[in-house]
């Protein structure tokens, strides 16, 4: 069970600066099976080719010949909405994986300490990240999915909507069969791929709620230097925190510096961090709309 786990992420051209830092963190800290699946979300041939070119020039060099890096071009979906299209592709391609488990990542997720597949199981049970029970959007998503799946209306407060998330591929395939999932037809309402999967999977699998990720998701950061320093130290010192996340919309000097300092303290090379910062700034300068998504 523990060794049969693969990493999967979905990306697009404007997220390649995040993919760059994620890839560096994977090589530095992932000690499990050396298999990394990258699904390209871009829809136009020009963008697809730009993303493939970026991966070949800037991502593949991180990985030695012991790694299997699989790059897939996402097929057409029932929506052009970037957020929903990503979710459809995550479900579709995770279900195609031959491994027993998929660790589903967004490109904003970075490993910050050595991790193997065993870190994602407690006494044989898979873990799921905790989520605030009073989070209005989360409660609505879980409620909507339980109604859709014709389950009892109670919503488990700990059901996460956040990546990383651990998918059991056989259970995921059964879910997609049960709902007649077609990536070209299925439409999301107010829900996420993780709320759909977890509300279904927890009928058959016992997931253990754990707090293993933190990070920055917007610019609502306490501005004092002390608060920032405490946030960095909190992340670095607590061994149960396995991931740091930085959402692209958290674009400010303060947030970029916090993430840079976290990655520096865990041992990512300064050259890589500086490249990430430069790419981030250049990408937003060229595509300012991405920080509103």
pLDDT given for residue 147 in this prediction: 86
pLDDT given for residue 21 in this prediction: 98
Host domain of residue 126: 5-217
CATH number at residue 185: 3.90.550.10
- Does residue 95 fall inside a structural domain? yes
* Average pLDDT per 10 consecutive residues for the chain, totaling 293 residues: 85 95 98 97 94 98 97 87 86 95 97 96 90 68 85 67 92 96 81 90 91 84 70 88 92 92 96 96 91 72
Give the residue among 175, 170, 214, 210 at the shortest CA–CA distance from 194. 175
Quote the tokens at residue 129: 């990240």
pLDDT given for residue 290 in this prediction: 84
- Does residue 234 fall inside a structural domain? no
- Does residue 137 fall inside a structural domain? yes
Angle made by CA atoms 224, 271, 114, in degrees to the nearest 5: 80
Instruction: Please give the sequence-ordered ranges of beta strands (E in DSSP) within 225-270, or none if there are none.
Output: 243-246
Residue 219 carries which DSSP code? S
- Does residue 133 fall inside a structural domain? yes
pLDDT given for residue 198 in this prediction: 92
- Does residue 130 fall inside a structural domain? yes
- Does residue 151 fall inside a structural domain? yes
pLDDT given for residue 136 in this prediction: 76
For residue 139, report the phi and psi dihedrals to the nearest 5 degrees: -65, -40
Instruction: Report the half-sphere exposure of 217 (CA within 13 A, side-chain side).
Output: 5
Indicate the burial class of 92 (C-beta count within 10 angstroms; 0-12, 13-18, 19 or more). buried
**Alpha-carbon torsion angle 74, 77, 82, 84, nearest 10:** -120
Could you read off the pLDDT of 251-261 as tens digits, one per residue? 989 899 999 99
Query: Cα separation of 287 and 4, whole Å?
Result: 38
How many domains does the chain divide into?
Answer: 1
- Does residue 185 fall inside a structural domain? yes
pLDDT given for residue 77 in this prediction: 84
pLDDT given for residue 142 in this prediction: 82
Could you read off the pLDDT of 205-222 as tens digits, one per residue? 999 988 899 888 877 666
What does the buried/exposed string (b/e) look like for 124-157 if buried means 16 or more CB atoms within 10 Å of the residue's CB? eebbbbbbeeeeeebbebbbbbbeeeeeeeebbe
Q: How many CB atoms are located within 10 Å of the residue 189 CB?
A: 11
pLDDT given for residue 185 in this prediction: 81
Quote the tokens at residue 171: 């259970």
- Does residue 105 fall inside a structural domain? yes
pLDDT given for residue 132 in this prediction: 54
Query: Cα separation of 258 and 232, whole Å?
Result: 7
pLDDT given for residue 133 in this prediction: 52
Could you read off the pLDDT of 89-142 as tens digits, one per residue? 999 999 999 999 999 999 999 999 999 999 999 999 999 987 655 567 777 888
**3-state SS assignment for residue 245:** strand
pLDDT given for residue 91 in this prediction: 95
């Amino acid at each position: 069970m523990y060794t049969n786990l693969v990493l999967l992420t979905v990306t697009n051209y404007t997220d390649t600066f995040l993919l760059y830092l994620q890839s560096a963190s994977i090589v530095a800290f992932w000690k499990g099976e050396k298999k990394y699946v990258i699904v390209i979300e871009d829809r136009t041939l020009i963008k697809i080719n730009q993303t493939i070119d970026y991966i070949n020039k800037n991502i593949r060099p991180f990985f030695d010949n012991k790694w299997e890096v699989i790059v897939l071009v996402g097929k057409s979906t029932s929506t052009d909405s970037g957020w929903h299209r990503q979710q459809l592709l995550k479900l579709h391609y995770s279900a195609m994986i031959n491994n027993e488990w998929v660790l589903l990542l967004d490109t904003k997720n970075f490993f910050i300490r050595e991790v193997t597949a065993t870190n994602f199981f407690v006494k044989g049970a898979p873990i799921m990240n905790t989520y605030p029970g009073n989070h209005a959007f989360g409660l609505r998503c879980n409620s909507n999915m339980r109604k859709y799946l014709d389950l009892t209306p109670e919503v488990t407060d700990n059901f996460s909507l956040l990546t990383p998330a651990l998918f059991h591929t056989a259970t995921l395939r059964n879910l997609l069969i049960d709902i007649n999932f077609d990536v070209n037809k299925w439409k999301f309402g107010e829900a996420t791929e993780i709320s759909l999967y977890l509300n279904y999977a927890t009928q058959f699998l016992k997931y253990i709620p754990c707090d293993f990720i933190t990070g920055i998701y917007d610019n609502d950061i306490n501005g004092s230097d002390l608060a920032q320093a405490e946030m960095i130290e909190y992340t670095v010192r607590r061994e149960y925190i396995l991931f740091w996340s930085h959402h692209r919309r958290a674009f400010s000097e303060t947030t970029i510096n916090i993430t840079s300092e976290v990655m520096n303290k865990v041992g990512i090379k300064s050259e890589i961090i500086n490249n990430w910062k430069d790419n981030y700034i250049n990408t937003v300068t060229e595509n300012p709309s991405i920080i509103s998504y």
